[in-house]
Amino acid sequence: MNAIVVGGGIGGLTTAAFLQRQGVRVQIFEQAPEIQPVGAGIVLAPNAVRLLRRLDVMGMLQQQALKVRTGWQFRRWHNGQILLAQDMDECESLYGEAAWLVHRADLLDALLAAVDKDSLHLGHQCTNIEQSSSGVTVTFANGASTKGEVLVAADGIHSAVRRQLIGQLGARDSGLCAWRAMIPRDRLPEEFLSPTQTLWLGPGRHLVHYPVSAGRTINVVAFTPAQPGETVESWSAQGKAEDFQAEFAGWDGMVGQLLEAVTQVGRWSVLDRTPISRYTYDRVVLLGDAAHPMLPFFAQGAGQAIEDAAALAASVELAGDWPTALTAYDRVRVPRTAQVQQASHSRSEVNHLPDGPDQEARDDAFAGQDPLRHSDWLYSYDAQAEAKQAVLANDDKTGPRAFSRKGSAVQENNGG
């Protein structure tokens, strides 16, 4: 069995690593000319960590990652009042893994070490795909082309593969923009170095900070109302540090101290998208943000891409053929990711309540919550086990499947 993976980010590298462990010949094509140590912080929850550990990358990753020990903290915007403090001591006993704070670059380094070095091809931007009864051919901007049995599209939120298959995903303006900054630890006092994910809640906006890269850097991400006509959706888009500080003027002094240490900040629009109803199109499978871009309020973007990769490889392992494996992948991943997308969507409304009765009721409710146990549906999920069950269910009902002879894609009604 062989496969082409378009995209050398978290989803693409994890997919390649898992499939190569199953003996699948995988070639990865990344449009960037080199893998740069860019990006920002990521929270890896137990549902993703258990899969990375099975991939044997956690040993390397843990040298740079920080285990969440003192928990999550929710704080009131104007006075720093702690609304909720989740003790994470029980996380491993409940779910078999802890939550970890990592830098995206550190995770990519660990994943790169897990794939065959000769299988990664840089400087290859996908421009066209063609399916036939015998395979799928991918053409790149540099004139190169390649053919494989299956194409895994892990080329991100602006996926060229998805665009050719089903057009643009219908994107709606969420009314929010995102800010992201990385601050060296020597610019901040000790209180910011604790391995705690701290979330500040205020009217119409919120801010999160936590350390990454073995505590050398503090990751800051925030969401505020967007300006009219603000539609740039790119992590490379830049903002101004003074504008970032102005958005949180009047907030608790700890927030002010944090933002005063910011010298460079990214700023981009947050667009919302409706889930699509399928991720497989004969010989092409969508994965990660190419399949299910989601609002970032549940910290599961990377986690769901990792789940996708593990589920696809587990389906291949048990099915032994691509058509059956892709059918099982589609059956199990579409409802799972749609559930996480909806949870992420709902969180923005809760986080940004204006001061008043609803906000007070929310804050009072935090006192009686146990988010760790409340997240059982998310953290206890085993993507590999669920995928294998889907393969077995397919075998019981229909037996092995085959690709269509033409290999054509069905158009998706996605509002684009």
Q: Is 43 helix (H, G, I), strand (E, B) or coil?
A: strand
Cα–Cα dist 218/181, whole Å: 8
- Mean pLDDT in the chain? 91
Question: If you average pLDDT over residues 139-149, what whole number do you get?
Answer: 97
Which pLDDT score, from 0 to 100, does residue 230 have? 62
Q: Are 251 and 200 in contact (CB under 8 A)?
A: yes
Q: What is the pLDDT of residues 3-30, one digit of tens each?
A: 999 999 999 999 999 999 999 999 999 9
Which residues are within 8 A (CB) of 233 and not within 5 positions of it... i.e. 6 or more apart?
Answer: 157, 158, 171, 268, 269, 270, 271
Compute, in degrees rounded to 10, the torsion defined by CA atoms 57, 60, 65, 66. 100
Question: If you average pLDDT over residues 302-327, what whole number do you get?
Answer: 97
Q: How many CB atoms lie within 10 A of CB 22?
A: 15
Which pLDDT score, from 0 to 100, does residue 414 have? 43
Question: If you average pLDDT over residues 92-115, what whole number do you get?
Answer: 96
- Residue 190 pLDDT more than 80? yes
Bridge-partner residues for 271, per DSSP?
A: 173
Which pLDDT score, from 0 to 100, does residue 412 have? 46
Is pLDDT larger for residue 248 or for residue 399? 248
Which pLDDT score, from 0 to 100, does residue 72 have? 85
Q: What is the pLDDT of residues 57-86, one digit of tens each?
A: 999 999 999 999 877 899 999 999 999 988
CA distances from 372 to 42, 72, 91, 212 (A): 18, 10, 7, 21
Which pLDDT score, from 0 to 100, does residue 408 have? 45
Prediction pTM value: 0.93
Which pLDDT score, from 0 to 100, does residue 126 have? 97
Which pLDDT score, from 0 to 100, does residue 247 have? 96
Question: If you average pLDDT over residues 151-177, what whole number do you get?
Answer: 88
Radius of gyration of the chain from its Cα atoms, rounded to whole angstroms: 21
Q: Is 10 helix (H, G, I), strand (E, B) or coil?
A: helix
170 confidence band (pLDDT: 50, 70, 90): low
For the ranges 47-56, 170-179, 207-216, which has the lowest average pLDDT?
170-179
Q: How many CB atoms lie within 10 A of CB 359?
A: 18
- Residue 280 pLDDT more than 80? yes
47 confidence band (pLDDT: 50, 70, 90): very high
- 199: its two tokens: 């979330």
Q: What is the pLDDT of residues 368-404, one digit of tens each?
A: 888 889 899 999 999 999 999 999 997 655 555 677 6
Examine the residue annotation and report whether 210 is marked as an active-site residue of this protein: yes
Q: Are 177 and 267 in contact (CB under 8 A)?
A: yes
- Residue 185 pLDDT more than 50? yes
Catalytic residue among 95, 210, 281, 329: 210
Q: Are 341 and 289 in contact (CB under 8 A)?
A: no
Question: If you average pLDDT over residues 278-293, what whole number do you get?
Answer: 96
416 confidence band (pLDDT: 50, 70, 90): very low
Which pLDDT score, from 0 to 100, does residue 410 have? 41
